[in-house]
Amino acid sequence: MKNNINRRRFLQSSALLTAGLSFGSAFASGSYKGALPANNKKRKIGNLEVSALGLGCMNMAGVYNAPQPKDAMVKVIRKAVENGVTFFDTAEVYGPFYSEEIVAEALAPFRKEVNIASKFGFSFNGDQVTGKDSSPQHIRSAVEGMLKRLKIDTLDLCYLHRMDPNTPIEEIAGTVKDLIQEGKVRNSGLSEVSPETIRRAHAVQPVAALQSEYSMIERVMEHDIIPLCEELGIAFVPWGPLCRGMLTGRFDENYVPEPDYRRAGVPYFTPEALKANLKMVDLLKVWADKKNATPAQIALAWLLAQKPFIVPIPGTTNPDHLMENIGAMKIEFKAAELAEIRTAIEKVPTVGFRKPESVFQDL
């Protein structure tokens, strides 16, 4: 009988599945023929060497649920560090500011062992977002705020969160370049921008990382964006690698998004869309049986196997889900298996996702 491990059953044995997991220092280049061994799990982002999986800290401040207690989230982040995660993603807009404060407290004892990414791009009136602003003066003010909240002298990776239509990308990239020269930032990143914007920014200051949504079911970034990252030597950091929880197997076609949180209004979570999109979860369950894993682990392991410069940042507020996600790095695929999965997922019709032409627009 097949051992069909679902997320709930996994939580009972996650410590056993992830025991002994370690991260090495080698970094491969080119497309994978299969996943790297479990002791070879470091990747490069600019001049940083990071764990192949990072931890997204957005939801700790409340997006898909209410803001979480700081002491509980500090424990989750420290558990990640204890199990080899060295890359942590936050932003000033998460909370706003609360996520950065959580990250600061959690990582203070480990500053030399970890890398922290945060993002600018919005203006605020108190704790209310009032618009987009990436003018040079505002960027400097934002970064000073990040450093103060994170209680660090230098930010390892500083992203433009969303493009400001009123500020040329050359001015934005030039300001971050100045901050790098001043020692306040180590690497420059972009999020949800077009290939043209990436090239223009890269010509001013090398872009170390691009962050956009990418998962086994949301693959629009494979059109022009990921190939461009490979061409320019830019790491690709997928947010939503589990498609806002869909690929964990947590939801069925009767799920109704909570009206006060982010999934409400997301096109691929409408009743009609879920009925179609959950066929991808069925496929994940088949491979979970084959690999003695969970659907979430298969989804993450598949991402890691696409390119050696991909660093997913699954977010969680649950320590057991954290360990489940980390366990994905122990799963290996042969070339034939990856080809079989690719053929299968391309046959699954999906509803509510971005169109290929959308990658040519700044969001």
pLDDT at 349 over 60: yes
pLDDT at res. 23 = 28
The predicted-structure confidence for 302-327, as pLDDT tens digits, reads as follows 999 999 999 999 999 999 999 999 99
DSSP string, 292-316: TS-HHHHHHHHHHTT-TTB----B-
Q: Specify which residues 209 forms β-bridges with.
A: 189, 235
Report the pLDDT value the prediction gives residue 14, as an integer from 0 to 100: 38
Catalytic residue among 32, 64, 94, 214: 94
Res 88: pLDDT: 98
Q: Mean of the pLDDT values across residues 283-301?
A: 98
The pLDDT assigned to 158 comes to 99
Contact criterion met (CB below 8 Å) for 169 and 188:
no
Q: What is the pLDDT of residues 58-79, one digit of tens each?
A: 999 998 889 999 999 999 999 9
Domain borders along the chain are 7-360
Q: What is the pTM of this model?
A: 0.89
- Report pLDDT digits (tens) over 15-50: 333 333 222 222 233 343 444 433 347 999 999 999
- If one compares 8 and 182, the residue with the highest pLDDT of the two is 182
Beta bridge pairs of residue 117:
89, 157
Q: What digits encode the pLDDT tens for the residues 177-229?
A: 999 999 999 999 999 999 999 999 999 999 999 999 999 999 999 999 999 99
pLDDT in tens, 100-145: 999 999 999 999 999 999 999 999 999 999 999 999 999 999 999 9
- Residue 11: is its pLDDT beyond 60? no
Tokens in use for 306?
């696409």
Q: How confident is the model at residue 257 (pLDDT cuts 50, 70, 90)?
A: confident
Q: What is the pLDDT of residue 63?
A: 84
Please provide the CATH number assigned to the domain covering 7-360: 3.20.20.100
Model pLDDT, residue 200: 98
Per-residue confidence (pLDDT) for residue 260, from 0 to 100: 76
**CB burial of residue 208 (10 Å; 0-12, 13-18, 19+):** buried
What's residue 259's pLDDT? 83
pLDDT at 87 over 80: yes
Residue 6 confidence class, pLDDT cut points 50, 70, 90: low
Q: For this structure, is 94 an active site residue?
A: yes
Give pLDDT, residue 37: 39
Encode burial over 56-77: b for 16+ CB neighbours within 10 A, e otherwise.
bbbbbbbbbeebbeeeebbebb
Look at residue 350 in the predicted model and tell me its pLDDT.
96
pLDDT at 362: 97
Q: What is the mean pLDDT of residues 330-354?
A: 96
Distance (Å, rounded) from C-alpha 318 to C-alpha 73? Answer: 9
Q: Can you list the positions of beta strands (E) in the chain? A: 42-45, 48-51, 55-56, 87-89, 115-120, 122-125, 128-132, 157-160, 188-191, 207-213, 235-239
| Distance (Å, whole) CA 355 – CA 170 | 27
Which tokens is 276 given?
A: 């179609």
Q: What pLDDT, on a 0 to 100 scale, did the predictor assign at position 291?
A: 98
Residue 261 has what pLDDT?
77
Q: Report pLDDT for 173.
A: 98
